Amino acid sequence: MTANDNAPLTTTSDHLLPFIESLPDAVVIVDQNHKIMLANALAGRMFGFAVDDLKGSDLSTIIPMPLRNAHRKHVNGYFEKPVLRPMGEEKRFSGVRSNGQEVPVDIMINIIVLDGAKVAMALVRDVTYQRELEARLTLESLTDEMTGFYNRKHFKTQLNAQLSGYVRWGLPTSVIMFDFDHFKKINDQYGHAAGDLVLTTIAKMVRQELRPLDVGCRIGGEEFAIILPNANLEDAETLAERIRKLIEQKEFKLDEVSFRATATMGVATFLPTDTSYDSLMRRADNVLYVGKAAGRNRTVTQNALQSTDFTG
Ligand SMILES: Nc1nc2c(ncn2[C@@H]2O[C@H](COP(=O)(O)OP(=O)(O)OP(=O)(O)O)[C@@H](O)[C@H]2O)c(=O)[nH]1
């Protein structure tokens, strides 16, 4: 629906002001020169200005600096072709407070005729809480609560994204998969809390070994996987060995009891024959079990697989 479908609301400032003051949203009314004609008290509070200071100032006062030019064009375009934009649409907007702090907002704009002039009336809603909640829920849905590592779902998404980079630009990506050895025995002998301590401690230690682009994931109970963008098989093997030794050397203490843990590492990298991230996952998994069968506490790379087994 366009605002031209119906005659725009025609009113005066005196009539409109009590109405916009009663609304639960901030209201900012701008003329075709981007000047703020009218604003309600909520707009003043939202942007950290006295309402009288907002009135008469350029709209850019409440628009973040990097967006000002684009926003100006957007407003001009809006006056030429006013399409009613309801709140909650895909696009994400922010305003800026007088202290420079950005505030995520949702906006609904419509054209009205105010005191005889065509103006744009924007209802502006502070959506900081919703955006933070959204970000937290997204992160929670991708993270393992116990270790803070990403979960299996995120591992797959990220590995798939890395496969695109490999196919398009030949950027190598490798994966280290590791699984604690005889973990059941640790639980049985020292209690479940001891097993948990191993998982959380090692996750913290591994995190310190990772570069910012690396993606540490917990893909099963005592199984972890690390995606290493821009790392070839040799780089990944070196890191896997470093992590394996860190685990081996770590002494865990719980209720005055000391114990140790080891893990077996499987390392794989993308190959030109890979058409899905599954192939790499399977190779890493296969060599991990080659390592388990060979006696555990070791690192095995996909080079250990026969070439005919490469597709896993
Ligand atoms: N404490 C604790 N234990 C877990 C957790 N998730 C999985 N486990 C345990 O990990 C053990 C995994 O056992 P298995 O799959 O038999 O493997 P394993 O004993 O490590 O033996 P190998 O992998 O063959 O060396 C099970 O006893 C699970 O209960 C967890 O979050 N905390």
Mutate to test the pocket of ligand 1, among 144, 184, 190, 296 (most ligand atoms within 8 A of CB): 184
pLDDT digits (tens, 9 = 90+) for 92-106: 789 999 999 999 999
Atom of ligand 1 nearest to the CA of 183: 20
Mutate to test the pocket of ligand 1, among 222, 254, 290, 297 (most ligand atoms within 8 A of CB): 222
Which pLDDT value is given to residue 100? 95
pLDDT digits (tens, 9 = 90+) for 114-149: 999 999 999 999 999 999 999 999 999 999 999 999
pLDDT digits (tens, 9 = 90+) for 158-171: 999 999 999 999 99
pTM for this model (two decimals): 0.76
What is the distance in A from the centroid of ligand 1 to the CA of 181? 8
Which of 57, 60, 83 has its CA nearest to residue 71?
Answer: 60
Neighbours of 206 (CB within 10 A): 22
Work out the pLDDT band at 5, boundaries 50, 70, 90: low
144 pocket-lining for ligand 1 (C-beta < 6 Å): no
181 pocket-lining for ligand 1 (C-beta < 6 Å): yes
pLDDT digits (tens, 9 = 90+) for 179-191: 999 999 999 999 9
Q: pLDDT above 90 covers what percent of the chain?
A: 85
Work out the pLDDT band at 1, boundaries 50, 70, 90: very low
What is the distance in A from the centroid of ligand 1 to the CA of 135? 32
Helix axes 152-169 and 277-293, enclosed angle (nearest 10):
120
Question: Closest Cα to atom 13, ligand 1: which residue?
Answer: 184
Cβ–Cβ under 8 Å, residues 13 and 30: no
Q: pLDDT above 70 covers what percent of the chain?
A: 93
196 pocket-lining for ligand 1 (C-beta < 6 Å): yes
Which pLDDT value is given to residue 86? 64
User: Looking at the predicted structure, is the pLDDT value of residue 16 above 60?
Assistant: yes
Query: Which domains, ranges and CATH numbers included, belong to the chain?
Result: 3-131 (3.30.450.20), 143-309 (3.30.70.270)
What is the distance in A from the centroid of ligand 1 to the CA of 184? 5
Which of 196, 46, 69, 50 has its CA nearest to residue 122?
Answer: 46
Non-local (6+) Cβ contacts of 200 within 8 A are: 146, 147
Average pLDDT over the chain reads 92
User: Is 80 tagged catalytic?
Assistant: no
Q: Which of 74-88, 143-157, 212-226, 263-277 is least confident?
A: 74-88
pLDDT digits (tens, 9 = 90+) for 239-276: 999 999 999 999 999 999 999 999 999 999 999 999 99
Question: Closest Cα to atom 2, ligand 1: which residue?
Answer: 195
179 pocket-lining for ligand 1 (C-beta < 6 Å): yes
Question: Closest Cα to atom 8, ligand 1: which residue?
Answer: 221
Question: Closest Cα to atom 31, ligand 1: which residue?
Answer: 221
Mutate to test the pocket of ligand 1, among 149, 185, 187 (most ligand atoms within 8 A of CB): 187
Question: β-pairing, 299-301 with 263-269?
Answer: parallel
Average pLDDT over residues 149-153: 97
Q: Where are the alpha helices (DSSP H) in the chain?
A: 13-21, 41-47, 51-54, 68-80, 128-142, 152-169, 183-190, 192-209, 233-249, 277-293
184 pocket-lining for ligand 1 (C-beta < 6 Å): yes
Question: Closest Cα to atom 28, ligand 1: which residue?
Answer: 184
ipTM over 0.90: yes
